[in-house]
Structure 1
Amino acid sequence: MRTAHFIFSLCLIIILSSCKSDNKTVLKHHKSIEKSRQNVPFSDAVQVDNLLFLTGQIGKDHTLGKIVEGGIEAETKQTLVNIEKVLKTHNSDLNNVIKCTVILSDIDDFNKMNKVYRTFFTDNLPARTTFAADLVAGAKIEIEVVALKK
């Protein structure tokens, strides 16, 4: 599981290092749009030119401040709704997602997660890596994405 995350991180470093070194490269750190996440020590999204690198999202309903009930299906749906909201804020959407990393707390939830995931990604099927690991806040799923900005 650490190997997959390491490989993704390495790919990110390669992408960032291949960006133009002149003053035309755009690098922006975007704080969270959620009031409850204004003081977190990370950006909801980092923009490098026309690429958006979103931080991992879990199935937390930010208006209630807790993870949604209903198991992996409900958490997967809420996670993807959270991602859609962040993408929309930064002039993008799920059709512009090029890479997803899905982390499950239990790999046996893969088929249930995948069923919900396919309802969000119907035409555009981004490259995807899925693995299992311990997640924060008792979450069953976390998804991070890389997307093109429109």
Structure 2
Amino acid sequence: MSVNTNTNTSGITRIDSAPGVPAAVGPYAQATSAGGFVFTTGQIPAAPGRSADAFEDDVHATLRNLEAVLHAAGSDLDHVVKVNAYLSSPDQLAPFNQVYETFFADRRPARTTVCVGLWGVSLEIDCVAVVRAGAGQ
């Protein structure tokens, strides 16, 4: 599957669909690249054929979706500078941090984590990243 992108004359690139990530459910891009940065849409633990599992599995699935969107936009987890995480219960923070650390290890981007009411999902994560040098975005 190829990446579906849309670039306008002002150098803004929109990633409409990244390989392996479910399509957006509304009129928005999965990521937008501008000025050397990538801004992702909130990713959830959705994947084709995936069934509901433990919360830790939801965190893994969400971060894999985020990773795929970043890759499609010319970036990766090494280049993330800010993460926003939305959890649906305060009890999720410890297991969230355990999985999150396996993805970000020593990179430790700035992060905001809040507990909110979400529409039928356990968490949502978005981020800002720098486009990799030579990525052509």
Instruction: Give the structure-2-normalised TM-score.
Output: 0.81
Given candidates 18, 24, 27, the residue that maps to 1:41 is 27
Quote the residue 1:112 is aligned against.
Answer: 95
Work out which of the two has the higher radius of gyration on C-alpha atoms and give 1 or 2: 1
Quote the residue 2:108 is aligned against.
Answer: 125
Amino acid at match of 1:132: C
Pairwise CA RMSD: 1.9
Kindly indicate whether residue 128 of structure 2 is the aligned counterpart of residue 149 of structure 1: no
| Length, aligned pairs only | 123
The answer for unaligned runs of 5 or more in structure 2 is: 1-8, 133-137
Q: What is the CA–CA distance in structure 2 between the aligned matches of 1:88 and 1:71, rounded to whole Å?
A: 26
Amino acid at match of 1:140: S
Equivalent residues in 2 for 1:1-150, closer than 5 Å: 26-33=11-18, 36-37=22-23, 40-61=26-47, 63-64=48-49, 68-136=51-119, 138-150=120-132
Find the residue that maps to 1:31 and give its secondary structure: strand
The answer for unaligned runs of 5 or more in structure 1 is: 1-23
Q: Which has the higher helix share?
A: 1
Asked if the contact 2:84/2:127 (under 8 Å) is kept, the reply is yes
Structure 1 consecutive aligned stretches of length 4 or more whose deviation exceeds 3 Å: none
Asked if the contact 2:80/2:130 (under 8 Å) is kept, the reply is yes
Q: What is the CA–CA distance in structure 1 between the aligned matches of 2:61 and 2:25, rounded to whole Å?
A: 22
Q: Structure 1's 28 and 74: CA in aligned 2 closer, same or farther, altered over 3 A?
A: same
Q: What is the CA–CA distance in structure 2 between the aligned matches of 1:73 and 1:38, rounded to whole Å?
A: 23
Q: Structure 1's 96 and 129: CA in aligned 2 closer, same or farther, altered over 3 A?
A: same
Q: What is the CA–CA distance in structure 2 between the aligned matches of 1:97 and 1:83, rounded to whole Å?
A: 11
Post-superposition Cα deviations, 1:49-68, rounded to whole Å, max 9, x if no partner, equal 2100000001111x22x5x4
Aligned-residue sequence identity (percent) comes to 33
Q: What is the CA–CA distance in structure 1 between the aligned matches of 2:108 and 2:10, rounded to whole Å?
A: 28
Q: What is the CA–CA distance in structure 2 between the aligned matches of 1:49 and 1:27, rounded to whole Å?
A: 8
